[in-house]
Amino acid sequence: MKIKLSLLFLICCSISFSQNFDKKVNDLILNYENEVIELRHWFHENAELSNREFKTAKRIEQELIKIGLNPQTGIAKTGVVAVLKGGKPGPVVALRADIDGLPVKERADLPWASKMTGIYNGEKVPVMHACGHDTHTAILLGVAKVLYEIKDQIPGSVKFIFQPAEEGAPAGEEGGAELMVKEGVLENPKVDAIFGLHIWSQISAGQVNVRPLGIMAAVDEFRIDIEGIQTHGSTPWTGTDPIVTASQIVNSLQTIVSRNMPLTKAAAVVTIGSIHGGVRSNIIPESLYMLGTIRTLDSEMRKTVLKRLEEIVYNVSKANNAKSKITYMVSYPITYNDMDLYNEMLPTLNRVNGEENVNFMNAITGAEDFSFFQEKVPGMYFFIGGAKKGTDPNLAAPHHTPDFYVDDSAMVTGLKSMTSLTLDYLQNNK
C-alpha cells in the first residue's frame, strides 16, 4: 500500500509541475506577444530579396544578442544561427524560420507596408513579404526569448536557424536550406529533430493544419531552349519555326499528368508559365525559351514526369527539325513529415491549440525547401492560420500576390506551437 501511495504522490506531483510549467510558458508567451508583433512589423516594412537579406540578418543578430545568445552570421550567405544550451543534458532540437521576401509590390493599406526595392533578374523591383516570412522570423525570435527565460529547466539544446533564400537563390547562386545543410547547419551540435511552420492567409487565425508523410510537393523548375531557323513570316517553309514547335510541346506536356500519372495515388502538376521569343508579326524567330515547373508528391511519379518531359521535348523538336535543350534549375524534394515524430508531437499541437483547432489536411502542390532538412533528420512541418477571425478565409488574397495579408493575431499560435513542440520533444527524449 505504501508503494502505491508513493507512486500516486509522484504522479500527482509530476502532473502539478507540468501544469505549472505550462502556465509559466504561456504567461511568458503572452508577455512577449506585443514585442513579437512589433518585430514582425519591422521585418515586413524592411523586406529583402533572397540572398540579399542584409538588414534582416543584422536585426536578427541584434535581437539574439539582446536575448543573451551568441549568433553566427553569414551562414549560407545571409543566414543566422544561434544555439541555446539548456541546463540539463538531452537531445538537440532545431527550429527554422525563412527570412526572404519576394519581388511583389504591396497594395495593402498598412502603416508598416513595405516600400523596399531590390534587383531581380537585372531589374529594379519592389520587394514585399508576400508569403509571410516576416511572421516566421518574428515568431522564432519570440520562441528564443521564451526559451531563454527557462533555459535552466530545458533538458537539451535548441538550435535557431534563420534561413535565407527559401524562395530560391538568384540565378547563378547557391542558397537556401540546401546550402545550409551543405555548410553543416545540422551538425555541431548534431540535430536530432527539426520543426518548421508556415503561416497561411486562407486559414483562420488560431487554426493549425498538419498531416503525416508528404505534406508539400517536390518541385523541379526547368527552362526549355528551342532553336530554329529565322525567316520571313510570309514564307515559313524556308525556315524552322520554334514557335510552332513550342506550341506542340506545351500541348503534349499536358498529357503527362492526364495520361501517364496514376492520379488516385498522388497529385502532379506540369506548368509552362513563361514563353519568350519573337519581335514582329512577320518574322519567324531563330529561337525562344520557355520556363516551367513540375510538382509531384510521389518519388516514382516524379521520375516518370522528368523522363516524359525529356522524351516529349526532344522528340517533338526533332519532328519539327528544331533543336532543343532542357536546363533544370530550382529543385526541392518532397516536404515529408516523419511518421514517428508526427505521432509523438501531434498531442502537443492538440494540447496547446485545442484539439478542435488542429486539422488534418490534404497534401498541397506548393513546395518548401524545408524538405532538405527533413532529408537528413526527422522533421515536422505544419501550417498556422493567418486570416483575421470573423472574416472569410476563402476571400483572403493568396500568397505571392500584392494584396497578401496575414493578421497579427496569428502570431500567438505560432509562439505556443513552436515553444511547446520544442519543450515536449526534449522532455520526451531526454
**Helix, strand, coil proportions of the chain in percent (round to 5)?**
40, 30, 30
Residue 123, classed as helix, strand or coil, is strand
Count Cβ atoms within 10 A of the Cβ of residue 13 and give its class: 0-12 exposed, 13-18 middle, 19 or more buried. exposed
- Report the C-alpha gap between 31 and 95 in whole angstroms: 21
- Whole-angstrom distance, CA of residue 377 vs CA of residue 3: 41
User: Contact 47/129 with Cβ under 8 angstroms?
Assistant: yes
Strand stretches in 228-370, DSSP E: 231-232, 268-276, 283-284, 287-296, 323-332, 335-337, 358-360
Name residues whose C-beta falls within 8 Å of residue 324's C-beta, 6 or more positions apart in sequence.
224, 225, 226, 227, 245, 249, 313, 314, 317
Strands (E) across 117-267 are located at 117-120, 123-126, 155-163, 193-204, 208-210, 213-216, 218-227, 231-232
The DSSP string of 184-219 is TTTTTTTPSEEEEEEEEEEEETT-EEE-SEEEE-EE
Taken as a whole, the chain contains a residue count of 430
Q: How many CB atoms lie within 10 A of CB 130?
A: 27
Cell numbers that stand for 250 in this block: 506545351
Q: Which residues are catalytic?
A: 100, 166
CA–CA dist 360, 209 (Å, integer): 6
- Torsions phi, psi of 314, nearest 5? -75, -35
HSE-up of residue 222 (Cα within 13 Å, Cβ side): 21
**397 contacts 405 by C-beta, under 8 angstroms:** yes
